[in-house]
Amino acid sequence: MIGLRVNGNRFETESDPETPLLYVLRNEMQLNGAKFGCGLGQCGSCTVLVDNRPVFSCLTPIAMLAEREITTLEGLGSIDNPGPVQRAFIEEQAAQCGYCIPGMIMRAHALLSENSAPDEAIIREALEPSLCRCGTHMRILRAVHRASKGLQEQASAAGESNR
């Protein structure tokens, strides 16, 4: 029995400890956000956050994750109340097939948590591990800039109200 903390909830699984996190998320917890892409850590479709850092859930055995804080796409918001990065992607219509986008959103979220005002080069570098095949890259970049702008506006508004 391994206890996982996913999106703030505790979940216990009896799966083999070497099972990659991705299969527990998708099949036992019904969390569809993280996707299987390659199983090799080459494409980033399976990206989730562990203690706020992006990891490839297709490669990470659950044995390594006991009591670590796991965040998936579903932890950022819902269809009725999307999180700021999700909202920015929706507003920019930054998807074609959309399969890779959850991984992009997780990576963008991790970046913006550390640096709310990254420049273009930093964003590109941060998204480098994630592949998109539809060629939606330009919209994805715009969405991350939009989310960044939103966060900065939020921060300056918070600063104003604290003054």
Partner 1 sequence: MTTLGQMELSRRTLLKGGGGLVLYFAISPRRLPAQEAPGPTAEPQQLPGSLSDSPFLDSWIRIESDGSITVFTGKAELGQGIRTALTQIAAEQLRVEFSRIELVTADTARTPDEGYTAGSQSMQHSGTAILHAAAYLRRMMIGFAAEALGVSANDLKVEDGVVVSSAGDKRSYGQLVSGRSLHVTVPDQAGFFDPENYTVMGQSLPRVDIPAKLTGQQSYVHDLKLDGMVHARVVRPAKPSARLANLDTSEVEKMPGVLRVVRDGNYLGVIAEGEFQAIKAMQALQSAAQWEGGASLPADADIYEHLMRLPAVSTVVHGPETPTSPPGGARIVEATYTRPYQMHGSIGPSCAVGHFQNGQLTIWSHTQGVYPDRTAIAEMTNMDEQAVRVIHMEGAGCYGHNGADDAAADAALLARALPGRPVRVQWMRDHEHQWEPYGSAMVVKVQGSVLVTGEITSWNYEVWSNPHTTRPGPAGNLLPAQLISGAFQPEAPTNIPLPAGGADRNAVPGYSIANARVVEHFIAEMPLRTSALRSLGAYMNVFALESFMDELAFAASVDPVEFRLARLEDPRARDVVTTAADAFGWNDWARRPGHGRGFAYARYKNLAAYCAVALELDVDRATGRIRIGRAVAACDSGHAVNPDGIRNQIEGGLVQSASWTLFEQVRFDGDGIQSADWAGYPIMRFPSVPETVGVHVIDRPGEPFLGTGEASQGPAAAAIANAVADAIGVRIRDLPLQPERVRTAMQV
11 contacts partner 1 (rule: CB under 8 A): no
1 contacts partner 1 (rule: CB under 8 A): no
Taking CB under 8 A as the criterion, which residues in 86-125 touch partner 1? 86, 89-90, 93, 95-102, 105, 123-125
Q: How far, CA to CA in Å, does 70 sit from each of 33, 73, 119, 139?
A: 13, 10, 27, 27
CA gap 23, 28 in Å, rounded: 7
148 contacts partner 1 (rule: CB under 8 A): no
Rg, the chain, Cα only: 16
Contact, 63 vs 18, CB < 8 A? yes
The one among 40, 67, 159, 160 contacting partner 1 by CB under 8 A:
40
32 contacts partner 1 (rule: CB under 8 A): yes
Number of residues lying near partner 1 (CB under 8 A): 56
Strand partners, 132: none
Strand partners, 20: 61
CA atoms within 13 A on the CB side of 90: 11
Dig out the tokens for 67 from the structure: 């009591």
Taking CB under 8 A as the criterion, which residues in 41-70 touch partner 1? 42-43, 45
The one among 49, 130, 146, 147 contacting partner 1 by CB under 8 A:
130
Binding site for partner 1 (CB under 8 A): 15-16, 19-20, 23, 26-27, 30-33, 35-40, 42-43, 45, 72-74, 77-79, 82, 86, 89-90, 93, 95-102, 105, 123-125, 127-128, 130-139, 141
